[in-house]
Amino acid sequence: MDKGWKTRTKLVHAGTRRSQYGEVSEAIFLTQGFVYDSAEAAEARFRQAGEDEFIYARYGNPTVRMFEERIAALEGAEDAFATASGMAAVNAALMSVLKAGDHVVSSRALFGSCLYVLEDVLARFGVEVTLIDGRDDEEWKKAIRPDTSAVFLESISNPTLEIIDLKAVCDLAHEVGALVIVDNAFATPIYSYALESGADLVVYSTTKHVDGQGRCLGGVVLGRRDLIRGKIEPYTKHTGGAMSPFNAWVMLKSLETLDLRVRAQTDTAQSAADALAGHPKLRQLLYPHHPSHPQHELARAQMDAGGTVLSLDVRGGKEAAFRFMNALQVFVISNNFADAKSIITHPATTTHQRLPDDQKDVLGITPGLVRVSFGLEDKDDLIDDLLQALAAA
């Protein structure tokens, strides 16, 4: 698989499987099943399917397999299993390795649905979950016990872009034999450092940067082959979380441009952070590679770039934040991120509306906080748009 190719070459060629027609662009195998040459061939395939042999699309499909191999090559992972959504991937990563009586430590600053799986689903099945402030290495040290079986975290949190010292957490977890599962959505697969830091499983919502054009839901779990094929695949293929071949094709073709897109979006985000820093209408600007970020040094040490998203705390609370959002001309108001279209989100009233106020305070989700996701439009148009809307706030 690894031919020593660099990232952009892998993103265009890795994992390609050509049919007997020799097509240039990857084919969509929009089929749920496969035909066997004989009854004996069916029996043999059910006993042990070979590399190019498939049984049923819930178990695997040639287009889905191309996507899995390409993203595994990008990430430098031994293997990958694609899922119907990012949450199907998070759910599979947790449910396939945990059992009643296990103990999990997780950072508290999580995507709402991840928090639901940990606090509601896992708790109902007798898994004990300890939530901590993931920025504080001392809290990890105190919470991880000799009987802890897994650690879960978002490497960069949403929406306040808190950063976790991955190497330190992986070392602490591995001292007690706990698995480390990283939800890496904000780090992006281009600037990912999760596997190098020691993570056992890395999860992406491919709905975000991988599709990056707002079309399809998807997810993937990457990591050691024994975990992917021994735990993730059996759980997902029998519980129905497989990625559709059509979505896999969209994601596969999107990987071809992923590096170009993420680097362009990141460049715009970094320039916008520089242009907006110190603006009188802002209480705070949060961008991992801007010196004003409270964990700026860690961000620089861990990550080659600051990513495609920044958050702004607008002075004057919700009213000012809403005036700012409504004055934007290029940005659209939505709750996704990492899209070709630049997106503005008010977490307190949308993605994090459900959280009680004291929880919002703990997570820094203030009434003036807006999350800004940079798309592929012209950089100057986007920065001008933010500046004119701030003037109107």
Ligand X SMILES: *Cc1c(COP(=O)(O)O)cnc(C)c1O
Residue 111's alpha-carbon distances to 31, 86, 91, in angstroms, are 33, 11, 13
Nearer to ligand X, 208 or 379 (CB): 208
Nearer to ligand X, 74 or 217 (CB): 217
Nearer to ligand X, 61 or 107 (CB): 107
Nearer to ligand X, 103 or 208 (CB): 208
Nearer to ligand X, 34 or 193 (CB): 193
Smallest gap from residue 110 Cβ to ligand X (A)? 7
Smallest gap from residue 86 Cβ to ligand X (A)? 2
Task: Select the residue whose beta carbon is closest to ligand X and give its number.
Answer: 86
Smallest gap from residue 183 Cβ to ligand X (A)? 5
Smallest gap from residue 190 Cβ to ligand X (A)? 16
**Using CB under 6 A as the criterion, which residues of the chain lie in contact with ligand X when the complex forms?**
85-87, 90, 111, 113-114, 154, 158, 183, 185, 205, 207-208, 217, 219
Nearer to ligand X, 287 or 322 (CB): 287
Smallest gap from residue 186 Cβ to ligand X (A)? 6
